[in-house]
A = this chain, B = another copy of it.
Amino acid sequence: MATSNKVVDVHTHMYPPAYVRILESRDEIPLIRRFAGAKDPRYIILPSEASADEINDTVTTKDTANLPGRPVTTHYSSVAQKIHFMDTHKIDISVISLANPWLDFVAADEAAATAQTVNGDFSSMCAAHPGRLFFFATLPLTAPPAALLEAVAHVKTLPYCRGVILGTTGLGKGLDDPELLPVLTALAANELPVFLHPHYGLPSEVWGPRAADEYGHVLPLALGFPMETTIAVARMYLAGVFDAVPGLRMLLAHSGGTLPFLAGRIESCIVHDGHLVRAGKVGPQRRTIWQVLREQIYLDAVIYSEVGLQAAVAASGADRLMFGTDHPFFPPLNSDEQGVWESMTWNLEAAKKALGDGSKETAAVMGGNAVRILKLYGDS
């Protein structure tokens, strides 16, 4: 198999016009708000980021340096800006996706139409730069079951679609919900990989009384997100979802959350669990979590350190890791946003240190794997 030397970013988000309009019209988080005196509108994603007072009174705060959320710069919705980011960092191809919380908050009767509009926007963005942009589609998870299955079939027909992005809630009860199985089965049948991305983190009380005032957003973002991903996949594994849908392929954000590091402990806890052993769930036919990692799971390489990346490679194989930046999140705070972002340099450095500068493995992680696995070629 030919190895591509292309650099591919599989974890990079866009907010298409249709989605921005929804967020601007909302009165509850997630939403986009303009604050007096601030250059850019602010995007507030997580309930912990702002109080109701801060959202609804747009003039009380004069301290524009301490507005809630993050500025919605052109990095969020401008395709030209995405291409500029890619050119600046020598990224050949980006597989763009809507960011959290997707359409989780959309009413059941609006979800299918909204998803279709948003996915249409994504398809158009890719068409404007053929060969440089592909996308993961968004599913209307709150829609009635039949509409949801129709949406799976629909996104498969969209030019440049190479899979779907999912959060961890599924239909509301998590990814181990039996009612989600038909959706996962349909995704597998359509050869649509699932990019699993966190949003809800952990209940806020785990961060303690000082977090809200003193620790910024570090704890929910740095720990809550990867822990959420880990829990979601472990629940799927224990529920037998990977066995029930053997064609399912999942790309896990942030190098699997913490799954590569905890896989050994998960295995130990399973074989030493009296309930599972007595229930006959720990027999010789069981595929270990290690096997599932190497057979049905891909990991992105958004881990910011060779320490974590080396563990991710050891768990899933260098042929299953795919580079990403998480753009437009985590812009540089002390340098020009039009210049170099650490999310690029840290993750590139991690790959070089873990796998060797100029090595075949580094080339695979930086793009070759994504080209092969996601079929990033052809003219649509």
Contact = CB atoms under 8 A, between A and B. Distances in A.
A162 B207 CA distance: 30
Interface string A191-233: 0000000000011011111110011111101110011101100
Nearest to A275: B216
Nearest to A215: B238
A217 B273 contact: yes
Contact of A218 (B205, B269, B308): B269
A211 B265 CA distance: 17
A303 B264 contact: yes
Contacts of A255: 261
B262 A223 contact: yes
A315 B273 CA distance: 30
Interface stretch (A19-27, A81-89, A111-119, A342-350): A342-350
**Oligomer copy total:** 2
Majority SS of interface residues in chain A?
helix
Interface of A: 65-66, 70, 173-174, 176, 202-203, 205-211, 214-219, 221-223, 226-228, 230-231, 234-235, 238-239, 254-255, 258, 260-278, 303-308, 310-311, 314-315, 330-334, 342-343, 346, 350
The 9 closest A-B pairs by CB, nearest first: A264-B305, A264-B304, A216-B275, A261-B261, A216-B273, A222-B269, A258-B258, A272-B330, A311-B311
